[in-house]
Amino acid sequence: MSRLNYHHLYYFWQVAQQGNLTQTAQKLHISQSALSFQIKQLEQALNVELFTRQGRKLQLTESGYHALNYANEIFKNGEELEQLLTSGTTLPSATIRIGMLSTISRNFIEQFIQPLLTQNDGRFSLQSMSQTGLLNALAELQLDMALTNIPVRGSNNDNWQSRVLARQPVAIIGPSGLDLTPVFDERYRHRRWVLPYGENPLRSAFDAFAAQYQLQPEVVAESDDMAMLRLLTRDTGALAVMPEVVVKDEIDSGELKNYMLLPNVYENFYAVTAKRRVVHPKLGMLIRPLN
């Protein structure tokens, strides 16, 4: 059985925030001696000293600082729990938990979470995992939403709500300064390539493009990770196939260039949520069409 008395912890939390025993006692409408006794009981139960006196002011000890950090989380979570159970809604300040496919573009993720970076009334967590992991975490209420570039398929589609956030054309990207044109011609035949790996829609689209133009690409590397493809084309001088958003920073700096778009080839980015009664109030702000 835990020795932690949460009633005593609450009094400690109030005093730690105020820094003054008398003022806190007045705020809580109890006597100063009763408040001091409650905190002394907490210290004795945990066998630690939480405060030292500096004149009329209480100073947290190292143990006190640790206890305050945990108390902040405990009572914040308690407030969220009370809101959830009594009204069926989550506080806007509650942590929003976002899962992301491990191979998805990090530039896209940063663009997506931009509204959260400019707000001071909450925080978010990002977790990277496989598509199966994302759906399992959503089903087990461990995530508020998942970001992926793979359509949700299978027999449990009725459990999910999937929305297209962005539809981005797929480009042939390479180092700046190459003698290439926006229309496919013979100059593309003598280049090395780094390509998406495996059963990837982008790879299938490129293979169809290559078959149409009877291109037999010299493939020097393959990867199912967009960040890895970005590094490979940057460091090998080879051409790569990816949405421009993956290498936005390198294109803006002039290090890489978009040479041509694959005709009628797009990558979709999806926001997936589980069908549930209680949703985070900031989901509506985030799930919006992106450019």
> What CATH topology corresponds to 96-166+270-286?
D-Maltodextrin-Binding Protein; domain 2 (3.40.190)
* Cα 194 from Cα 238, distance rounded (Å): 6
pLDDT at site 58: 84
pLDDT of residue 127: 93
The strand ranges marked E within 176-290 are 192-196, 218-223, 239-243, 256-274
The model's pLDDT over 153-197, given as tens digits with 9 standing for 90+, comes to 754 556 788 889 988 899 999 999 999 999 999 999 989 999 998
Taking CA atoms, 133 is separated from 100, 123, 148, 227, in Å, by: 10, 22, 11, 20
The pLDDT value recorded for residue 2 is 58
Which of 152, 103, 108, 100 shows the shortest CA–CA distance to 243? 108
Cα dihedral 82→83→87→90 (10° resolution): -140
Q: What is the spatial distance between Cα 238 and Cα 228, in angstroms, rounded to a whole number?
A: 13
Helix 62-87 and helix 6-18: axis angle, to 10°?
Answer: 110
Kindly list the domain boundaries of the chain, sorted by start residue: 6-87, 96-166+270-286, 168-267
Question: Looking at residue 80, what is its pLDDT?
Answer: 65
Taking the CA atoms of the chain, what radius of gyration do you get in angstroms? Answer: 27
Regarding pTM above 0.85, the answer is no
- In tens digits, the chain (291 residues) has pLDDT values of 456 788 888 888 888 888 888 888 888 888 888 888 888 988 888 888 998 887 777 888 998 888 888 888 888 777 766 766 666 555 555 788 899 998 888 888 988 888 888 877 778 889 999 999 999 988 877 888 899 988 887 545 567 888 899 888 999 999 999 999 999 999 999 899 999 987 788 899 999 999 999 999 999 999 988 889 889 998 999 999 999 988 989 999 999 999 999 999 998 999 998 876 556 667 777 776 555
- Report pLDDT for 1: 40
Kindly report, residue by residue over 69-104, the tens digit of the pLDDT: 888 888 877 776 676 666 655 555 578 889 999 888
CATH number, span 6-87: 1.10.10.10
Q: What is the CATH number of domain 168-267?
A: 3.40.190.290
- Return the pLDDT at 22: 84
pLDDT score at 214: 94
Same-fold call for 96-166+270-286 versus 168-267: yes
Q: What angle do CA 47, 49, 51 make, to 5 degrees?
A: 155
